[in-house]
């Protein structure tokens, strides 16, 4: 259990190694995409153990805890990483843990080695017919679906009756509308039109699937917020450095109290978000209720205070904050993106309300 971000030595080592690797090979600048060899980068990440970290020992994994997994995503967020790490670091290991071992072991090996890639396809309007085993409907935006080899598809997530979790090989037979998101990442909407689903593609159904889908989506929320948090923390550091150097009216911007207070306010919000992230990390292994509360609280905080903190950074940076060549705008776009994914801010406020405020109306 970690109640402070000042954690034990191996955590610090993992974080420092990750940060160095990312800054050496994938630091953010406007030319990164042209230069980067993304396939080689993914292999290096696998060699560092990023995809084995979340797997249990029985699947050949390193059995890392929530803080360790989130620290990788945070560090990736700092450099505004654009590859689909979230699904492969935090979600696929969980789904594989829930599978039959005979099937899971070879998949886990390949995931750990960086040879296969998963994408998480959140539920949109998906429906799997129990009688015909045909899948209909569309998913919500799925990060990295175009470059994935396997799709984890959440179906019928609104009720235990219709819920199932599918593992499908990525296929051109499925209609895919690819989009570039405002934060530079790629995502796709998948349209399933009467697709036949073999029995062995169904990892879970009914009540078990319902609980697993909730867990996967909470993990997606917590992980995406960890990435956004890393971006925001890096963004505040960048902005504080900038206002110390930028001179107007004969003095550095950092000497003006109006600017100081804005940065202090953003600092307060970022530290509170770090607190919620610590909660999210322990809650990844906690009870379903606690995990749901932590995930939704984090998402709500990110979509409100987090975005406010980022917008203040643009404000004090002035005109340069509006330019595509400068990083802070991309931090803002990352936060805006995360706040729309895996359930909107308002949707999570409503969910949190149901969890926090016991309602007689909901009990019926």
Partner 1 sequence: MDAFFTADEIAFRDEVRAFIRENLPTDLAQKTRDGIHLAREDMARWNTILDKRGWAVHHWPTEYGGPGWTPIQRFIFEAECASGDAPPLSVFGLYLVGPTIYTFGSSEQRARYLPGIRSGETFWCQGYSEPDAGSDLAAVRTTARKVEGGWIIDGSKAWTSEGHFADLMICLARTNPNVKPQAGLSLFIVDMKDKGISLQPVITIDSGHSVNTTFMDNVFVPDDGLIGEVDKGWTYAKFLLSHERTNNAQVHRSRREFTRLKDLAAALPGSGGGRLIDEPAMCRRFTLVEANLVSLEITVLRVLADQTEGREPGPEASIVKIIGSELQQRITELAMEVLGEEGIKAEHEGDSLLAQEAQGWTERHLFRRVVTIYAGSNEIQKTIIARSVLGM
Q: How far is the CB of 7 from partner 1 (least distance, A)?
A: 10
Q: Given the complex with partner 1, which of 32 and 274 has the nearer CB atom?
A: 274
Q: Given the complex with partner 1, which of 228 and 259 has the nearer CB atom?
A: 259
Can you say how many angstroms the Cα of residue 188 is from the centroid of all Cα atoms in its chain?
16
Give the largest Cα separation in the chain, rounded: 75
271 interacts with partner 1 by CB under 8 A: yes
Nearest to 69 by CA among 57, 55, 80, 53: 53
Q: How far is the CB of 270 from partner 1 (least distance, A)?
A: 9
127-128 and 164-169 strand pairing: unpaired
* Dihedrals phi, psi of 173, to nearest 5 degrees: -70, -15
Q: How far is the CB of 256 from partner 1 (least distance, A)?
A: 9
Q: How far is the CB of 135 from partner 1 (least distance, A)?
A: 34
Quote the strand ranges of 172-229, DSSP E. Answer: 175-180, 186-196, 202-205
257 interacts with partner 1 by CB under 8 A: yes
Q: Given the complex with partner 1, which of 157 and 345 has the nearer CB atom?
A: 345
240 interacts with partner 1 by CB under 8 A: yes
Sort 29 into a burial class: Cβ within 10 Å, 0-12 / 13-18 / 19+: exposed
Q: Measured between alpha carbons, how far is 196 from 171 in angstroms, rounded to an integer?
A: 13
10 interacts with partner 1 by CB under 8 A: no
Side-by-side strand order, sheet with 164-169: 118-121, 150-155, 164-169, 202-205
106 interacts with partner 1 by CB under 8 A: no
Q: Between residue 301 and residue 340, which ones bind partner 1 under the rule CB under 8 A?
A: 301, 304
Ordered DSSP codes for 91-103: IHHHHHHTS-HHH
Q: Given the complex with partner 1, which of 178 and 346 has the nearer CB atom?
A: 346
Residues within the interface to partner 1 (CB under 8 A):
1, 3-6, 240, 243-244, 254-255, 257, 259-261, 263-265, 267-268, 271-276, 278-279, 282-283, 285-287, 290, 293, 297, 300-301, 304, 349-350, 352-353, 356-357, 359-361
């Amino acid at each position: 259990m970690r109640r402070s971000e000042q954690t034990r030595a191996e955590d610090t080592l993992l974080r420092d190694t990750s940060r160095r690797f990312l800054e050496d090979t994938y630091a953010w600048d406007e030319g990164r995409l042209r230069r980067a060899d993304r396939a080689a980068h993914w292999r290096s990440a696998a060699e560092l153990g990023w995809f084995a970290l979340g797997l249990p020992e029985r699947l050949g994994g390193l059995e890392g805890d929530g803080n360790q997994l989130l620290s990788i995503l945070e560090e990736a967020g700092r450099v505004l990483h654009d590859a689909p790490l979230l699904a492969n670091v935090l979600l696929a290991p969980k789904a594989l843990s829930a599978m039959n071992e005979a099937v899971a072991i070879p998949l886990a090996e390949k995931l750990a080695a960086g040879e296969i890639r998963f994408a998480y396809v959140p539920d949109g309007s998906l429906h799997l017919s129990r009688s015909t085993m045909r899948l209909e409907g569309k998913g919500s935006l799925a990060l990295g679906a175009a470059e994935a080899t396997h799709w984890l598809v959440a179906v019928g997530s609104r009720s235990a009756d219709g819920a199932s979790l599918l593992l499908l090989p990525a296929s051109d037979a499925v209609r895919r509308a690819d989009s570039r998101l405002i934060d530079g990442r790629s995502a796709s909407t998948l349209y399933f039109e009467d697709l036949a689903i073999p029995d062995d593609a169904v990892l879970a159904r009914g009540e078990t699937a319902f609980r697993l889908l909730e867990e996967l989506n909470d993990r997606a929320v917590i992980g995406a917020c960890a990435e956004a948090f890393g971006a925001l923390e890096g963004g505040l550091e960048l902005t504080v450095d900038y206002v110390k150097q930028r001179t107007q009216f004969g003095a550095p911007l950092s000497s003006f109290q109006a600017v100081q207070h804005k940065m202090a306010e953003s600092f307060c919000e970022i530290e509170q978000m770090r607190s919620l992230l610590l909660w999210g990390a322990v809650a990844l292994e906690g009870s379903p209720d606690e995990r749901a509360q932590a995930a939704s609280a984090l998402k709500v905080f990110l979509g409100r205070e987090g975005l406010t903190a980022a917008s203040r950074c643009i404000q004090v940076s002035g005109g340069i904050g509006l330019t595509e060549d400068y990083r802070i705008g991309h931090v803002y776009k990352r936060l805006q993106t995360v706040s729309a994914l895996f359930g909107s801010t308002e949707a999570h406020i409503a969910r949190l309300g149901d969890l926090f405020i016991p309602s007689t109306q909901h009990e019926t």
